[in-house]
Amino acid sequence: MQISSRFTVALHIFTCVDTFKDDYKITSDFLAGSINTNPVIIRKILTQLKNAGLITVTRGTGGITPTRPLKEITFYDVFEAVEAVENGDLFNFHASPNPQCPVGRNIHTLLDDKLKAIQFAMENEMKKYTIDDLRSGIRELLAKEG
C-alpha cells in the first residue's frame, strides 16, 4: 500500500502559497513549476482542498488563501481532503475470503482491529503536524541557504 503523491503535492502547494504569496501571482502554472507536474493535476488538488474548506481560490488572479490560520490546518486535514479513503478505511480488504478455508474464514477477525489501530495511530500522528510547521521549516532552511 502506498499513499498517492496527492498528499505531498497538497503540502507542497500550501508551502508555496505561504512562501511566495507576497512576491508572485500564485497560479496553477506557477505551482506546477515548483512541483514539476502538470497544472491540471494542481487544479484538481486545489479543487479538493477548496471543497474541503481548507482554501479559497480566486480564479484568474492567482489568489489562493487558506481559510484558517496555518497552525490550525493539520496534515490530517490535508490528507482527508485529497486522499480517497473508501468507507473511512485506510486499508482496502480483499473481497470475499473463502469461508471454506480456516484462514479465509477468520482473516477479518485476525486483522480488522489491528488495521484499525494502525490507521488510528497514523491519523493521530498526522494531527500533530500543521502547515505552520512547514512554514517554519522552509523559513529555517532558506535562512541557512542564505
- CATH number for position 134: 1.10.10.10
How many CB atoms are located within 10 Å of the residue 45 CB? 24
Has residue 68 been placed in a domain?
yes
Q: What is the per-residue pLDDT across 62-118, written as a single tens digit (0 to 9) for each?
A: 689 999 999 999 999 999 999 877 777 888 888 889 999 999 999 999 999 999 999
Has residue 122 been placed in a domain?
no
pLDDT above 80 (res 1): no
Average pLDDT, the chain: 92
Has residue 125 been placed in a domain?
no
User: Which domain does 138 fall in, by range?
Assistant: 6-86+130-145
Question: To which H or E segment does residue 64 belong?
Answer: strand 63-66
pTM, to two decimals: 0.88
pLDDT above 80 (res 2): no
Q: In the 8-state DSSP scheme, what is residue 90?
A: S
Has residue 99 been placed in a domain?
no
Has residue 107 been placed in a domain?
no
pLDDT above 90 (res 61): no
Nearest CA-CA partner of 66 in 124, 1, 129, 17: 17
CB 66 within 8 A of CB 131: yes
CB 42 within 8 A of CB 35: yes
Has residue 98 been placed in a domain?
no
Has residue 121 been placed in a domain?
no
* Radius of gyration of the chain from its Cα atoms, rounded to whole angstroms: 19
Question: Domain count of the chain?
Answer: 1
Has residue 16 been placed in a domain?
yes
